[in-house]
A = this chain, B = another copy of it.
Amino acid sequence: MPELPPLSDASIDQLFREARTQNKWLDRPVPDSLLHEIWDIAKYGPTSANCSPMRVVFVRTGESKARLKQALSAGNVEKTMTAPVTAIVAHDPQFYDKLPFLFPHADAKSWFTSSPALAEVTAFRNGTLQGAYLMIAARALGLDVGSMSGFDNAKVDELFFADTGFKSNWLINIGYGDPEGLFPRSPRFGFDEIAKVV
């Protein structure tokens, strides 16, 4: 395997350094084909025992947006109602039922059926990882995102997951951002404030 060079500065800027949480959206559609493309990238991100617990509802239609609106904090309503698509990042608490397909070389299902606490933390941790991959994949395709935790999770679960038992995690608006809606970039920690090498 050849050594891999770093990505270009422009690519790293696009994914991280210049990417911003968007609050206002250009009137430019995000076709379903692009949502499929996002997943076809994000699905390769690593999860524990390939457990892949994330489940997603992409909310697009006016009717579904109106349903979601009932659960949103006031400050998140306008940007979510105007976003081309809003992803509800959720996870399946019974993700382990799919492990015979996802991790066929071991009886991984039993690791989780024997420990509900391990199953719960694994679903949340790995569903969250996959939501991060989803955001990065969207940016890799030239899209912008804006994430939100400000909503009523129980209400979203009732409105969107009553039939499946999935648990909502957070929301991601997806589209093409209008820079007029940006806030100034907030400070970040320096390396020595959050890390050490031992």
Contacts and interface: CB of A to CB of B under 8 A. Distances in A.
Interface of A: 1, 3-8, 11-12, 14-17, 19, 21, 32, 35-36, 39-46, 48, 50, 52, 54-61, 64, 85, 98, 101-105, 122, 124-125, 128-129, 131-133, 135-137, 140-142, 145, 147, 149, 160, 169-170, 176-177, 179, 183, 186-189, 191, 194-198
Contacts of A12: 41, 140
Contact of A194 (B7, B56, B147): B56
Interface of A is mostly: mixed
Given A39-B195, A45-B132, A149-B125, A186 B16 contact: no
B57 A44 contact: no
Contacts of A198: 57-61, 64, 160
Q: Which one of A5, A16, A177 has the greatest number of beta carbons of chain B within 10 Å?
A: A16
A100 to B, nearest CB: 11
A168 to B, nearest CB: 12
Contacts of A195: 35, 39, 55-58
Contacts of A177: 1
Given A125-B170, A197-B35, A52 B189 contact: yes
A33 B15 CA distance: 21
A131 B58 CA distance: 25
A39 B125 contact: no
Nearest to A196: B57
Given A45-B135, A104-B187, 13 more contacts: A6-B141, A6-B142, A7-B140, A39-B194, A45-B132, A55-B195, A56-B195, A57-B195, A57-B197, A101-B187, A124-B125, A125-B128, A128-B132
